[in-house]
Amino acid sequence: MDYVTLGRTGMRVSVAGLGCGGFSQLGLAQGKSEADAVAIVRQALELGVNFFDTAASYRTEEVLGKAIKSARREDVVIATKAPFSFSNPRSAPEGVVASLDESLRRLDTEYIDIYQLHGVPPEAYGHALNDLAPVLLRERDKGKFRHLGITETAPHDLEHHTVRRAAQDGVWDVVMVGFHMMHQNARHRVFPLTRANRVGTLLMFVVRNIFSQPERLRATMRDLVAAGSVPDRLGGSPDPLAFMIHEGGASTIPDAAYRFVRHEPGVDVVLFGTGSREHLRTNIASILKPPLPEEDRRQLAALFGHLVGVGLDAPHLSRRSAGRSRSR
């Protein structure tokens, strides 16, 4: 496993971080047992993963708490989140504190390493900064958590307005941001700010449906061609990203997706979710591989660097439109 220092937190964290939510929720969302979920976390620990991301809404805090009992607490970095979203944009301070206390109970731990506000839309950022952060920082000073973080609402904040502000306010030690092969604008809009201000970065939305479901990728490419956003040849190709699969290159499209983000300057932890121990090993192996060949990276930048908001949908949603482009 490779480790990095997570911004100004000073914590040494694995570059591969196990996400305990998403669409698998450690396999619980797919009908697997709690014992199966615990086994996934423990195998991640055996493979050197020390960063685990969960949330009150994921319903995996208790499982994670049980699983990490096999490790020394100081060897594990736990990140969890307070409810905050479009459905609850005016979260009350007392509710956030109550959620923090409940997370501590469910995780069965004396402290949380990173406590994050979950999915803060740009229009609610002022409330998060002025009303909630001061209260949470007082809870931090009581020893309930070590570092404060914030996550964006990636499909609803395509230009990263929330994390751009958060990176410069001096309050948030860690941000979570969406970045992948066909939504690359964090390279210019976010990472220069987080690097300059020593804010740790957690990546989400790295491998989406368009990278794991071939027909979805083909449909997305047809939409992008129709919108004039990518070359015509990609719309008729049965495998539009095949140029990355070659000796010395990627072995699969998901492999390419993980390697593309892992070596981007400004990226700290690449989050991934899984409900399978085999899939866990495969994902970690990809994250630990060398960068994609430079020619493949150049092609990805040339073909997709101008796209914004492509492939940020969830599996249960209907296929998005082709997203949009920005000037090169």
258 is catalytic: no
Is 0.95 surpassed by the pTM of this model?
A: no
Half-sphere exposure of 18 (CA within 13 A, CB side): 37
Q: What CA–CA distance (Å, rounded) separates 1 from 50?
A: 10
Model pLDDT, residue 85: 65
Q: Is the pLDDT of residue 318 over 70?
A: no
Extract the tokens encoding 17: 């971080």
Q: Who has greater pLDDT, 305 or 328?
A: 305
- Closest to 57 measured CA to CA, from 77, 30, 87, 90: 87
Residue with tokens 């300057």: 265
Residues 270 and 203: beta-carbon distance below 8 Å: yes
Split at pLDDT 50, 70, 90, the class of 88 is low
User: Six-digit token pair at 308?
Assistant: 């914004």
pLDDT digits (tens, 9 = 90+) for 107-131: 999 999 999 999 999 999 999 999 9
pLDDT in tens, 137-157: 999 999 999 999 999 999 999
Give tens-digit pLDDT for 203-242.
Answer: 999 998 889 889 999 999 999 999 999 999 999 899 999 9
d(CA 187, CA 177): 11
| Predicted local confidence at residue 84, as pLDDT | 75
pLDDT at 316: 42
pLDDT at 275: 87
Instruction: List, in order, residues 6 or more apart from 56 with CB less than 8 Å away.
Output: 80, 81, 82, 83, 99, 102, 103, 118
Q: Above 50 in pLDDT, residue 302?
A: yes
Q: Which pLDDT band, with edges at 50, 70 and 90, does 7 fall under?
A: very high
The pLDDT assigned to 322 comes to: 44
What residues does each domain of the chain span? 3-205+251-290
Confidence class for position 321, pLDDT limits 50, 70, 90: very low
pLDDT band of residue 326 (cuts 50, 70, 90) is: low
For residue 263, which amino acid is it?
H
Cα angle 65, 43, 253; round to 5? 115
- Give 105's pLDDT tier (boundaries 50, 70, 90): very high
Q: What fold, for 3-205+251-290?
A: TIM Barrel (3.20.20)
Write down the catalytic residue from 3, 58, 111, 115. 58
**Per-residue pLDDT tens over the stretch 158-192:** 999 999 999 999 999 999 999 999 999 999 999 99
pLDDT tens column, 8-63: 999 999 999 999 887 788 887 888 888 999 999 999 999 999 999 999 888 999 99
* Measured distance CA(183)–CA(300) in Å, rounded: 11
What are 197's two structure tokens? 């201000």
Work out the pLDDT band at 327, boundaries 50, 70, 90. Answer: very low
**In the predicted model, is pLDDT for residue 194 greater than 60?**
yes
Q: Using only C-alpha atoms, what is the Rg of the chain?
A: 19
